[in-house]
């Protein structure tokens, strides 16, 4: 039986990629989500159903909305999902700020997260503007 990661590797070898996989912003959002999962491992277990869950869901939502939007045919629809992705990114930032101010997130992780948010926000703004011009 083929494992999921082997199937993905097989498709990549054949040269096929889905629309969202071509978006630099989606790849950056996916990497950001993985980063969020890694830093939330170190938050207190008491936050498992609080900030940990909220941070992870908001971060996943950024990449997911970019993927969903890329499957839409109209630039207007694509821009709508990019806007939702941006909103989820801001939600993630808000939760990071709260975790930091509560002393749950160390200064280094917080600074790195803010930098990643800034880079991704700029990419999403650029993508949104491009989609709006095509709409």
Going by C-alpha positions, the residue among 62, 67, 74, 54 that lies closest to residue 29 is 62
Residues whose CB falls within 8 Å of the CB of residue 81, separated by 6 or more in sequence, listed in order? 65, 66, 68, 69, 70, 72
Q: Where residue 2 falls among pLDDT bands split at 50, 70, 90?
A: very low
Do residues 52 and 40 make contact, with C-beta atoms less than 8 angstroms apart?
Answer: yes
pLDDT of residue 8: 52
State the burial class of residue 55 (Cβ atoms within 10 Å of its Cβ: 0-12, 13-18, 19+).
buried
Separation of alpha carbons 91 and 10, rounded Å = 36
Q: What is the Cα Rg of the chain in Å? A: 16
State the DSSP string of 71-127: T-SSHHHHHHHHHHHHHHHHHHHHHHHHHHHTT-S-HHHHHHHHHHHHHHHHHHHHH
- Which tens digit of pLDDT belongs to each residue from 17-40? 999 999 999 999 999 999 999 999
Q: Which domains does the chain show, CATH number per domain?
A: 20-134 (1.20.1440.60)
Q: Is the pLDDT of residue 4 over 60?
A: no
Q: Is the pLDDT of residue 54 over 90?
A: yes
pLDDT of residue 5: 52
């Amino acid at each position: 039986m083929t494992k999921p990661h082997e199937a993905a590797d097989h498709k990549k070898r054949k040269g096929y990629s889905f629309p969202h996989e071509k978006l630099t912003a989606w790849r950056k959002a996916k990497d950001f989500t993985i980063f969020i999962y890694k830093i939330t491992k170190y938050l207190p277990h008491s936050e498992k159903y609080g900030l940990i869950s909220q941070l992870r869901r908001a971060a996943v939502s950024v990449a997911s909305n970019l993927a969903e939007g890329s499957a839409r045919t109209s630039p207007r629809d694509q821009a709508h999902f990019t806007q939702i992705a941006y909103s989820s990114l801001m939600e993630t930032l808000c939760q990071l700020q709260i975790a930091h101010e509560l002393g749950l997130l160390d200064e280094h992780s917080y600074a790195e997260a803010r930098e990643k948010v800034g880079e991704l926000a700029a990419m999403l703004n650029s993508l949104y503007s491009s989609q709006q011009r095509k709409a």
